[in-house]
Amino acid sequence: MFEFFLPTFGAPCETVSLGFPVKASEIEVFKRSGVYGLDRLHRAIHDINLCRHQQGKLTDKPVTLRRKGRLVSWEEMNKKVNRALDRLSKDWAG
């Protein structure tokens, strides 16, 4: 039902790989829109670089993103939320 993720940042910022100036940085995108905005940025960077590779402008093909992109599950928080939801469902059932 709920799943929390940790932000993942490139070092240097992934926007550097685009070959044209970009005003937004990963940190700025994260500040404004959280991990899901950061995921959208990473997917856009991947798509642009994939097109550049197909056009012969990049020699290396970008690494394929997983189903959840570069998002990393926040295991500790997810376990706490799941335990709380389990307790809540037992309280309401009883």
Give residue 89's pLDDT. 86
Instruction: State how far the Cα of 84 lies from the Cα of 86, in Å rounded to an integer.
Output: 5
For residue 73, list its beta bridge partners.
5
In the chain, which residue ranges form alpha helices assigned H by DSSP?
Answer: 26-54, 75-93
Instruction: State how far the Cα of 13 lies from the Cα of 38, in Å rounded to an integer.
Output: 11
pTM over 0.85: no
pLDDT tens for the chain, 94 residues long, are 678 888 888 888 888 888 899 999 999 999 999 999 999 999 999 999 999 999 999 889 988 888 888 888 889 998 999 899 888 888 777 6
